[in-house]
Amino acid sequence: MAAPPRPAPLGAGLGAAPWGRRHEPCGGAAMPTERPLRRGSAFRLCLLSAALFLCLQLGVRRSWCPEEKPRGPAAGLGPPRAPPRGPPQPPGRRRVTYVRSGRRRGAEPGCCPPQPPGGPRRKAVRWHIDLQPWASPTPSLTFEALRFLKYISTSQISCERMNLSSLGGDAETTKKPWSVCLDERFGLVHRIRSKKCRLYSLGLGNDDNQFEVSMANSGCEVHRFDPSIKSAHIQEGRRLWYHRLSVDWRDPNPAIAAHRLHSNTKKLGTILNEFGHQKIDVLKADVESAEWKILENLILEDVVEQIGQLVFEVHIHWPGFEVSGNDSTVVRYWYSLLRELELKDFRLFHTYKDLSKPQMFLKKAAFNASSCYTLSWVNTRWQ
């Protein structure tokens, strides 16, 4: 019978042995050393302290900023937050805003209030006119030409007084019927009498200036723009000026070498700003087939709203400068331009068909049309 095992030494298994030593139980098998209890307690105490610290931080944040809500992933892209409602905060407490680097906040409430209705607004930029529907189910030059010629030959409003001689003074009879409406219901005759009238005349080396002289003698301030004159500015008399400028539908770009040759070419809106003129009572234009693109620029930039009456010589024996497309498309473009004027409250009151010019329509002797017409419109809203 085997002998009973010897009892273990006093304190065995209770941590009495030195650190790192192992006790030999019966059978000779080795047992792992047990870690001290104080290391596990210290680790749990650290975790508890960290959790308590985070809870305290969260509580402080909510107590100081009760109205702040969690922000979305794209901060600063939404509308500005409304200011908090309710009683004001006590004077001893201020709102704290936490800003994270790399992220932008939206506009502060009350910083930039929206403009009230009716305030100044920038008009939308237009890049092209609105083309009118075709005159027929399928594009046809015949239908387009007949519609256009009928439109420019039919007066939209009556005008009884169109002769400058009716004003008295030194007005002369002009060779061409550059007709302006002098009825009392429109403002031109009143501005002529009060010596507040202004006329812009656009030309290209035309020696016929009787209309401009007559308007100046009647009391208008007349500015004639002609790139062929020798001096930059010439004054004749008290109310007549000549300027070495050509009015175009675009301003030259100094960065483009070809445009530097046309430094005296400017848009009408640019000239108005440089001269400090807000209104033109009469705009007369004889620019040899550049009138279509100039008229388009005046419409797109709303310069036409600053003009009281238009007197334009239009040429229809070819499409005009930088007007492209087939014949039916060109005539549709012409017609759409004139309809744009009508939408701006301009009304055609006089048409002159020049029978001394070749009777041609887009290089064709057709439709009993002249190659040149002088058209006069009055702005019915002009004050």
pLDDT per residue over 112-159, tens digit each? 334 444 433 445 668 899 999 999 999 999 999 999 999 999 999 999
How confident is the prediction for the chain on average, in pLDDT?
78
Contact predicate 272/342, CB 8 Å: no
Q: Residue 315, exposed/middle/buried by CB under 10 A (0-12, 13-18, 19+)?
A: buried
Both tokens of 19, joined, read 């650190």
The 10s digit of each residue's pLDDT in 301-336 is 999 999 999 999 999 999 999 999 999 999 999 999
DSSP string, 231-276: SSEEEETTTEEEE--EEESS---TTSGGGGGGTTEEEHHHHHHHHT
Alpha helical stretches, state H, 263-381: 268-275, 291-300, 327-343
**Position with higher pLDDT, 64 vs 269:** 269
Residue 56 reports pLDDT greater than 60: yes
Residue 22 reports pLDDT greater than 60: no
pLDDT band at 42 (very low <50, low <70, confident <90, very high): confident
pLDDT at 12: 44
What does the alpha-carbon distance between residue 120 and residue 122 come to, in Å, rounded to a whole number?
7
The mean pLDDT of 66-85, rounded to a whole number, is: 46
| pTM for the model | 0.66
User: Which of 199-208, 252-261, 337-346 is modeled with the greatest confidence?
Assistant: 337-346
pLDDT band at 95 (very low <50, low <70, confident <90, very high): very low
